Amino acid sequence: MDNIFHKLRNLDAYPKINEDFYSRTLSGGVITLVSSIVTLLLFFSELKLYLHTVTETKLVVDTTRGETLRINFDVTFPAIPCSVLSLDAMDISGEQHLDIRHDIIKKRIDSHGNVIEVRQDGIGAPKIESPLQRHGGRLEHNETYCGSCFGAESSDDDCCNTCEEVREAYRKKGWGMTNPDLIDQCKREGFLQKIKDEEGEGCNVYGFLEVSKVAGNFHFAPGKSFHQSNILHDLLAVQKDNFNISHRINRLALETTFQEL
């Protein structure tokens, strides 16, 4: 074992040369100094490059702009009734979708979060009404009854036989309905009374949106949205000076389809 250790001690990859066999020169010293400086510069340069992040900019043509992105969501509003909650989406290309109704499901919940009534009903979709509510004007008058849209008609042949149709006509005009008590259809259907009956309720909204792959946003709001130079909200259905829009996001996910190359 001692013999092995002795051989290891004598092992030298760079054996020293006896000073009698070499001579020191000025050029050799200069080369040694320059080499040492260059070595240090290279070392610190590589160390700096290693410790710092390098940002690379790459520009490519987006060939998928015409495709859509699906947004799945499940949101609970403990203090906003389903009947007054609407959903809007818009993007930087100018595309707007107000009061979205399709592929959206809402459930009424009480103050404890329990489902009051299990039903699938798109936001803003017409409710099942009794014949007196739906056709009250015709029953009171005749079969040719055509309810007034109160100035919001697009043409002379337009009729608004329900409160919802009047509100929709106002929305298309970019108007807000300020006093439903003056609208015969709303008085007949008990529009404000329905809203009062739902006080204290909340709403669980879930479903999905399909939007363009550009910057944009979607949002929930009480009341109906209409366009008047920009997006406004008709808060007629919110019969309070203030309201609680606190919410809980149960699920929010983006889905996209990757095509095979």
At 247-256, the pLDDT tens digits run: 999 999 987 6
Residue 82 — left, alpha, or beta (φ > 0 → left; ψ -120 to 50 → alpha)? alpha
Residue numbers of the chain with a pLDDT score lower than 70: 7-16, 19-21, 117-143, 176, 178, 224-241, 256-261
pTM here is 0.54
- Average pLDDT taken over every residue of the chain: 76
pLDDT of residue 241: 62
pLDDT of residue 257: 52
